[in-house]
Structure 1
Amino acid sequence: MTAATATTAETFRPALHYAARSTWLNDPNGLIFHEGVFHLYYQNNPLDNVWGNMSWGHATSPDLITWTEHAVAIACDEDEDIFSGSIVFDRENTSGFGTDSAPPLVAVYTSAFKSGSAHSGLQAQSLAYSRDGGYTWTKHTANPVLNRGSAEFRDPKVIRYTGDAGSYWVMVAVEATDFQAVLYKSYDLKNWELLSAFGPANATGGVWECPDLFPLPVDGDPNTLRWVLTVNLNPGGPNNGSAGQYFVGDFDGTTFTSATTVTEGLQDPDRLGEYQWLDWGRDYYAAVSFSDAPGGRRLMIAWMNNWEYANHIPTSPWRSPMTLAREVSLHTIDGKPRLIQRAAGDFASLSGPARTFSLADTEISDGTRILDGAAGSVQRIDITLAPGSATEFGLIVRGNGDQGTRIGIRPTQGALIVDRRDSGQTDFHETFASIDTAPIRTRDGSYELSIYVDHCSVEVFAQDGQVTMTELIFPAPTSTGLAVYASGGTATITSLHVTQYA
């Protein structure tokens, strides 16, 4: 590879997000904090930069921002592809894979059996274990440990449940085409007993995948816990393609009961906007949370891509990044429990001093104003906007006059928008150029946005994390301008602060 080719190939490599060196990745798997390190495993094609040869890649981080890629952790073979799953620290050595003094990490993953294997065409749950802190793995000789005779049974997330019903492992997986989350329990991670099933409910416009189940205190009160069940689906998202939804309710050790179901059974297409979405953007999928995160925090990472165009995005030789890690919490909003999401990670760990730009109490008139001194390709933007007479107002990031990604508010529609029709390279797939929307309302008469801009993405956190939108973009390297705009009237920038990371 020539120097010029290498520079072109790396144009979109993220500075704030994880991407593999030179291969394909998709769903995050086996997220765990162990011995002071965050471990990110993920669906990986170690041989190419399109989907295939599914194995578990592996990266580690001390801070959720700077990542080190390691050798493939669990590789496919002639009998099976290694689909999504999770990892637990088996502290009491219930599995027997370690010792009482040196308990193991245990990965629970989906074996997608190939033709020629004894389980050809089936998906079942299998185990691998690590005795060196997650760097090398051995497959269990008696795999699979849970086989329903199904071709669509996958993506196990295992947690440790302790409550009135006892103490044991709980697995939530999916029957993907039945739109069901199925729950099992085990005392040793090897023998599993069916507990219950949940679904179909709410969004069912695509197969269900990559579930998660965890408790959260409501409004920070540890005495008031609710359980959150997340389910990703493809297609069927609120702005087309892949997306993730969540339900809030209770789990008694056997059954999850939702308090936020809008429609039971197959979805009502007219009510798609009423469902609880993890993210309203086009590129937030397969989100799962870390096991054993420090301080009891609930931290999640998702794959930043969309199956509509995932194999085509122009990021050769690598393809697809992960999202930023997010800390999620549960708060009462309009009398109902809702997830709040905020970017996590130690951004101070990035090399070099950050530069800043600030502005306050500035009216935007009809038109566009370029902000001199605010240009950048990797930045965090915090802005508070007050509506005036404009029908739409907001920011244009990664712009150069001809290009730019528009992030705006349409107050009469109650809509947050991300318009990437002119965001740079868009012609690699017919569905990529888009205007995507999310519902938003004022808080104390204002709109607050925190936006993380990277070489190939924007992540928008609105109204202190009540609404999020994640979108890939592929601007020219010279498109670094930042502008504000208003259409059909005026709006006011109450405050604007930009932190430049690159």
Structure 2
Amino acid sequence: MSSSLDAARPVTAPAVTPRFRPAIHFTASDTWLNDPNGLVFHDGLYHLFFQNNPYGNVWGNMSWGHATSPDLLHWAEHPVAIAGDEVEDIFSGSVVVDHGNTSGFGTVESPALVAVYTSAFKAASPHSGTQAQSLAYSTDGGMTWLKYDENPVLTRNSAHFRDPKVFRYEGPHGSCWVMVAVEAQHQKVVLYRSEDLKSWDFLSDFGPANADAGEWECPDLFPLAVDGDPDNTKWVLIVNVNPGAVAGGSGGQYFVGEFDGVRFVPDAGSLAAPAGLSSFPDKDAAQAALQQCLWLDWGRDCYASVSFSNVPDNRRIIIGWMNNWDYANQLPTAPWRSSMTLARELRLSSVNGSLQLIQHPVLTEQRVEENPVPGPAPFNLDGTALRLPDAVPGTAQVIEAEIVLGSAELVEFSLLGSTDGSQRTVLGYSTRSGRLTLDRRQSGNTQFHGKFASVEAAPAALEDGILKLLIVVDQCSVEVFAQDGKVVLTDLVFPEANSLNNWLSAEGGTATVRKLAISSIA
């Protein structure tokens, strides 16, 4: 991909599209964004840094943009934090609060924020053609940054060594900084340690494993208590892959295992393909194994998910890029292009004997309840479509439902539909297949790219015959959290301005709606 100024010129130039601007998902005001970077909580604010082209709304001229939020729903954009220049593009990385002043960039009383980012060096650099890890630091709460004058601090003389996620490791023999990065085209996670964020020593590597058809990017490694038990802690390794994700194109997989301060070792239950799917000679077997990998999101539009550091109470909160590299530069929005997913809090639970991440969207804002239809639950669906409150322009709609499938073979939510039903996004559950599907083939503008029209599917086992859904619809996106967050599906959609109708229906029998709550957030 080019990093020249020519990349600043849009591939397409759609008319200004304010109706697609999300209410509670972050977008840059008038430029391109991709991977979330440097997620950190500091002095009461969540900081979101992100890959940004300050000069246009397609990929290029990579710098770190910056936004802050008190609640992870409403964001204030700030000037570019770390700018690319004639020597380097600023690729993905992370930010830590250096509480012990190990780097010497701040003080113990007033610790610096330290960014560890990938320098993608250009021809003007003596490191031309390589990617290496560099530092920048802020002593004013993340608002201004200085690059370290002895960058880079870690190089492998590699063209694809990138995306460092750094965290403080507390082990039985003391503490240190640990960096998790990737050799992207070798499908390897590489781990290093440091005492001061400046000098790094190699620890180990991991991979290939499971989904390895594309480049590995944006890793993250963190501990989580199993079912909330602090005496039973496991480590989760997130590895994003592009292409080769379960829904096609880019997506995020994860592994659960142990980390001893040196090496990550995945549990056997995390390994659908220990040597990687590329080792399978049979395509059908590889596709079946792909379905058995652990996926953060089964939709098309959740990539590069990483977690915040320094969050109170050791909460683990992630944000992803709500897009897919298959069509990212062609999205029909202007003047901005691309957005982030909702922030999601992670938990680790035992599900049917296997450890699995549970995701809950962070929706702390007071919601405005919409009129219940047809009235308080429970009520039956038996073949007649139930009209729900319309989506409201400029707000995000939250739909919470619990449905007992009963004799019904299919339950469907028709979202953002036209009055004649010719345009709609369909979220359905089939009792025959045991799968949840999100169908955007008739969702509106799907013609801007040949790979956009699609149907996503995820296995979702009913629990005592009940389907539980939390659906967030926000102008140009649908995020689905099913079965209390065990299954997540995220897709972009671009409906016509008057496609606001929502319906609920059941086919092939009767289903009982045990709960239906609809609200909006502005």
TM over 0.5: yes
Q: 2:302 aligns with which of 284, 288, 302?
A: 284
The amino acid that maps onto 2:441 is R
The amino acid that maps onto 2:335 is P
**In structure 2, what is the equivalent of residue 450 of structure 1?**
470
Q: Which runs of 4+ in 1 moved over 6 A?
A: none
Residue 356 of structure 1 deviates from its aligned partner by 4.4
Q: How many residues align?
A: 494
The amino acid that maps onto 1:453 is V
1:376 counterpart = 2:392: yes
The amino acid that maps onto 1:264 is P
Residue 492 of structure 1 deviates from its aligned partner by 2.7
1:172-187 mapped onto 2 (5 Å cutoff): 172-187=180-195
How far apart, CA to CA, are the structure 1 residues paired with 2:383 and 2:244? 36
**In structure 1, what is the equivalent of residue 124 of structure 2?**
116
**In structure 2, what is the equivalent of residue 264 of structure 1?**
274
In the TM superposition, what whole-angstrom CA distance separates every residue of 1:402-434 from its partner, at most 9, and x where no partner exists? 211101101111100000011111110011111
- Pick which of 382-391 and 158-167 moved more: 382-391
How far apart, CA to CA, are the structure 1 residues paired with 2:50 and 2:391? 33
Q: 1:224 aligns with which of 226, 232, 252?
A: 232
**In structure 2, what is the equivalent of residue 410 of structure 1?**
430
Q: 2:443 aligns with which of 423, 431, 437?
A: 423
Residue 8 of structure 1 deviates from its aligned partner by 4.7
The amino acid that maps onto 1:71 is P
C-alpha spacing 1:456/1:445, structure 2 compared with 1 (3 Å): same
Q: 1:366 aligns with which of 383, 387, 394?
A: 383
Residue 453 of structure 1 deviates from its aligned partner by 0.5
How far apart, CA to CA, are the structure 1 residues paired with 2:211 and 2:489? 18
Q: Is the contact between residue 35 and residue 92 of structure 2 (CA under 8 Å) also seen in structure 1?
A: yes
The amino acid that maps onto 1:250 is E
How far apart, CA to CA, are the structure 2 residues paired with 1:356 and 1:145? 58
How far apart, CA to CA, are the structure 2 residues paired with 1:262 and 1:453? 33
**3-state SS of 2:329 partner:** helix
The amino acid that maps onto 1:376 is V
In the TM superposition, what whole-angstrom CA distance separates every residue of 1:441-491 from its partner, at most 9, and x where no partner exists? 101111000000000101100000000001101112211111012334443
**In structure 2, what is the equivalent of residue 94 of structure 1?**
102
1:52 counterpart = 2:72: no
**3-state SS of 1:71 partner:** strand
Q: Is the contact between residue 110 and residue 126 of structure 1 (CA under 8 Å) also seen in structure 2?
A: yes
Residue 367 of structure 1 deviates from its aligned partner by 5.5
Q: Is the contact between residue 119 and residue 131 of structure 2 (CA under 8 Å) also seen in structure 1?
A: yes
Q: 1:238 aligns with which of 225, 228, 246?
A: 246
1:385 counterpart = 2:403: yes
1:159-178 mapped onto 2 (5 Å cutoff): 159-178=167-186
**In structure 1, what is the equivalent of residue 342 of structure 2?**
324
The amino acid that maps onto 1:370 is R
Q: Is the contact between residue 42 and residue 56 of structure 1 (CA under 8 Å) also seen in structure 2?
A: yes
In the TM superposition, what whole-angstrom CA distance separates every residue of 1:53-95 from its partner, at most 9, and x where no partner exists? 0000000000101100000000000010000000001111111
How far apart, CA to CA, are the structure 2 residues paired with 1:227 and 1:95? 26
Aligned Cα RMSD in Å? 1.6
- Pick which of 8-17 and 319-328 moved more: 8-17
Q: Is the contact between residue 376 and residue 398 of structure 1 (CA under 8 Å) also seen in structure 2?
A: no
In the TM superposition, what whole-angstrom CA distance separates every residue of 1:258-316 from its partner, at most 9, and x where no partner exists? 00222112213331010000000000000000001122110000000000010011111
How far apart, CA to CA, are the structure 1 residues paired with 2:76 and 2:391? 29
Name structure 2 gaps, 5 residues minimum. 1-12, 278-285
C-alpha spacing 1:454/1:208, structure 2 compared with 1 (3 Å): same
How far apart, CA to CA, are the structure 2 residues paired with 1:374 and 1:81? 44
**In structure 2, what is the equivalent of residue 143 of structure 1?**
151
The amino acid that maps onto 1:74 is I
The amino acid that maps onto 2:275 is G
C-alpha spacing 1:442/1:336, structure 2 compared with 1 (3 Å): same
How far apart, CA to CA, are the structure 2 residues paired with 1:314 and 1:202? 33
Residue 48 of structure 1 deviates from its aligned partner by 0.2
The amino acid that maps onto 2:19 is T
How far apart, CA to CA, are the structure 1 residues paired with 2:507 and 2:444? 22
How far apart, CA to CA, are the structure 2 residues paired with 1:395 and 1:319? 28
1:481 counterpart = 2:501: yes
In the TM superposition, what whole-angstrom CA distance separates every residue of 1:14-66 from its partner, at most 9, and x where no partner exists? 00111010000000000000011100000000000000000000000001011
TM-score, normalising length: structure 2: 0.92
C-alpha spacing 1:73/1:252, structure 2 compared with 1 (3 Å): same
How far apart, CA to CA, are the structure 1 residues paired with 2:204 and 2:341? 32
How far apart, CA to CA, are the structure 2 residues paired with 1:307 and 1:369? 37
C-alpha spacing 1:492/1:40, structure 2 compared with 1 (3 Å): same
How far apart, CA to CA, are the structure 2 residues paired with 1:395 and 1:132? 48
Q: 2:78 aligns with which of 59, 62, 70?
A: 70
How far apart, CA to CA, are the structure 2 residues paired with 1:192 and 1:354? 53
How far apart, CA to CA, are the structure 2 residues paired with 1:61 and 1:228? 26
How far apart, CA to CA, are the structure 1 residues paired with 2:223 and 2:462? 29
How far apart, CA to CA, are the structure 2 residues paired with 1:346 and 1:138? 34
How far apart, CA to CA, are the structure 2 residues paired with 1:261 and 1:271? 9
Residue 394 of structure 1 deviates from its aligned partner by 1.9
**In structure 2, what is the equivalent of residue 355 of structure 1?**
370
- Pick which of 90-99 and 167-176 moved more: 90-99
How far apart, CA to CA, are the structure 2 residues paired with 1:309 and 1:440? 27
